[in-house]
Amino acid sequence: MPSYAFFHNQFVPLAEAKINIMTHALHYGTAVFEGIRGNWNSQQQQIYIFRLKEHYQRLEDGSHLLRMNLPHSVDEMCRITVELVRKCGFKEDIYIRPLAYKSSEALGVRLHNLDNDFLVFAIPWGRYLDMDACRCGISSWRRPADNVIPHSAKSNGLYINDACNKSEAMDKGFDEGIMLSPDGHVSEGSGENIFLVKDGKLVTPPVSNSILVGITRDTAIKLAKNELGMETIERPIDPAELYTADECFLTGTAAHITPIAEIDNRKIGNGRVGEISGRLQQLYFEVIKGNNPRYIDWCTPAYKK
Ligand code: PMP
Q: What is the CATH number of the domain that holds 223?
A: 3.20.10.10
Say yes or no: 94 and 170 in one domain: no
Say yes or no: 156 and 259 in one domain: yes
Q: Is 154 a catalytic residue?
A: yes
Cβ–ligand 1 distance for 209 under 6 Å, the answer no
Say yes or no: 14 and 118 in one domain: yes
Residues 6+ apart with CB under 8 A from 134: 174, 175, 176, 250, 258, 259, 260, 261
CB 152, CB 187: distance < 8 Å? no
For 123, list phi and psi in degrees, rounded to 5. -135, 155
Please choose from 56, 142, 154, 211 the residue to mutate so as to test ligand 1's pocket, defined by most ligand atoms within 8 A of CB: 154
Q: What is the pLDDT of residue 129?
A: 83
DSSP 44: T
Please choose from 143, 188, 192, 251 the residue to mutate so as to test ligand 1's pocket, defined by most ligand atoms within 8 A of CB: 192
Q: State which ligand 1 atom lies nearest to the alpha carbon of 55.
A: 15
Say yes or no: 86 and 149 in one domain: no
Say yes or no: 161 and 105 in one domain: no
The residue-averaged pLDDT of 85-95 equals: 97
Mean pLDDT of the chain: 97
* Residue closest to 55 by CA, chosen among 97, 92, 10, 11: 97
The answer to the question of residue 305 being in a domain is no
- 34 CA distance to ligand 1 middle (Å): 9
Q: Which of 18, 91, 102, 154 is the catalytic position?
A: 154
Say yes or no: 41 and 112 in one domain: yes
Domain count for the chain? 2
| Domain containing residue 171 | 134-288
The per-residue pLDDT for range 110-131, each reduced to its tens digit, is: 999 999 999 999 999 988 887 7
Say yes or no: 58 and 199 in one domain: no
Say yes or no: 138 and 104 in one domain: no
The residue-averaged pLDDT of 82-93 equals: 98
The residue-averaged pLDDT of 37-56 equals: 98
Of 124, 144, 161, the position where a domain reaches its end is 124
Please name the helix (run of DSSP H) or strand (run of DSSP E) that holds residue 209, with its range, or none: none
The answer to the question of residue 65 being in a domain is yes
Q: What is the pLDDT of residue 249?
A: 98
The per-residue pLDDT for range 165-195, each reduced to its tens digit, is: 999 999 999 999 999 999 999 999 999 999 9
